[in-house]
Structure 1
């Protein structure tokens, strides 16, 4: 039941009502869970704060208390989730002025990041270490992600029908709800709907593997799937070849990184990964792009010197 909003309403109640009204059914379940998590933190940090009592100071104190237990980027995400609701409260006249204006985002120093991707030599050793038998296994899944750069949920949702072996293509148009009760879900965004070119070796391998499988059934789904299960399989292979232990998402980073190092344009890599814009690709792989730019300077200087 929707409560009548006024300045004396608890902000936690207002926010819960706001996400139910404006976000429920309009965003992906994964994104919705982030809004609900933000609500849980509001209940923990400001259980008695009324809408009308939110000021720049009380809002900054909220962010500071949240930042005491989270890294800066996580605090920034929390700020964005809360800010949307507060701005609506301002529009409705429940708050006199925007209390989020000039908010200072703090947070714990980021933890030392583990290596997210393998180099070409390590990837070749990993693929050689896979046990690619006649039956579908997580080793086949690892091979596919390494060769396509798909997201975990995208690869889980693949059916034999999604493969066009004559054109060496695989179509990504859905994901698998592995965090919920299973079943197909839409892709992360419209840009995620794409066709990925496959090399001929992968085509031959998967053409044989999928030969007698039902066309519309997920290839890798036999029961409830957990991300940790597949990551454990990948970690075992990484340890066996004495390479850095990465996750399945790290394989996606590996795929993109090696393509960039090979000279593939950012635009092409962005399309292959299903990024909504090249900006996302640039931000994610800025360290690689900077390294490539340094190499470009050497090429430019050699070229210009040769014009004399």
Structure 2
């Protein structure tokens, strides 16, 4: 298909076409929805801005206008999603110079952050409060996510066949599309396809729980019923409140799992593989505050070791 180059084309129209050509079918639905939301903001903030008029100063003004209603990190994401399209427009000769160069990222003052993870005592207290019945319920789901660090959609997709009790392994090879209800879907990335070692206590508990269940049917999905993460978060919230500990989300259990492993001395590489991160860089960025705390402890240990040499 021949696409004519048009410097007078509206920026938001070019951006929509760029998304269709470069992103459609190449990224996950949830990521695609973010690009489409960025397009909607362009229509709202710069409906008449032409490609040929895109300069550093009006691009900065666009970012400033967006930042009035969003936090800095959200503005940064907005900037990154626009930058890819703009650089392509520069390469095509539709824009003379890169208007994103030296862009300043601003944003609203972040709201007070809710706790993202529990410490070991808090997690133990919460798990003690779980009602682990003889039949599958959301408390079993909470226990399994806490023990493995799986993503919500990965845990929903688990079937009895994914458990290898003899080798204490759990296979993660798919997710469950709970947002649109289309069933099994691929994992977030290729690195997310993995095997997770599980402890012997979990093996005993789940080997009993799963007896007689269909091998390839999702354990936590009832036929014909849609699952909402707010439902499971509500169950977890009630346990947190009853246990008098900070309220976290199901995704917070994933952070809790990773945090406890790092504090226990497990390497970043091993934690990254267990979580299914695409690279260790993702793990380092996500848990930078914990890694820095551990590095401070390492410095103290080095100093004590050197002092002992005298």
Show structure 1 runs of 4+ deviating over 6 A. none
CA distance in 1, matches of 2:100, 2:27: 23
Match of 1:303 among 299, 302, 305: 305
Contact 1:159 1:216 in 2 (8 A): yes
Gaps of 5+ in 2: none
Query: 208, 227, 230: which one pairs with 2:232?
Result: 230
Aligned-residue offset at 1:40: 0.7
Matching residue of 2:184: 184
Following the alignment from structure 1 to structure 2, what is the Cα–Cα distance between the partners of residues 41 and 58?
15
Count of residues paired in the alignment: 308
Decide whether the 8 Å contact of 1:182 with 1:224 is kept in 2: no
Query: Which residue does 2:172 correspond to in 1?
Result: 172
Partner of 2:197: 197
Unaligned runs of 5+ in 1: none
CA RMSD after TM alignment: 1.4
Aligned counterparts, 1:205-284, within 5 A: 205-222=205-222, 223-284=225-286
Tell me the equivalent position of 2:43: 43
Contact 1:191 1:276 in 2 (8 A): yes
Q: How does 1:1-308 map to 2 (within 5 A)?
A: 4-222=4-222, 223-308=225-310
1:294, distance to aligned residue in structure 2 (A):
1.9
TM-score between the two structures when normalised by the length of structure 1:
0.97
Task: Mark the CA change 1:212 to 1:18 in structure 2 (over 3 Å): closer, same or farther.
Answer: same
How far apart are residue 80 of structure 1 and its match? 0.8
**Does the Cα contact within 8 Å between 1:153 and 1:177 map onto a contact in 2?**
yes
Shift of 1:3: 6.9
Query: Matches of 1:39 and 1:93 in 2, distance apart?
Result: 22
Alpha-carbon offset, residue 4 of structure 1: 4.2
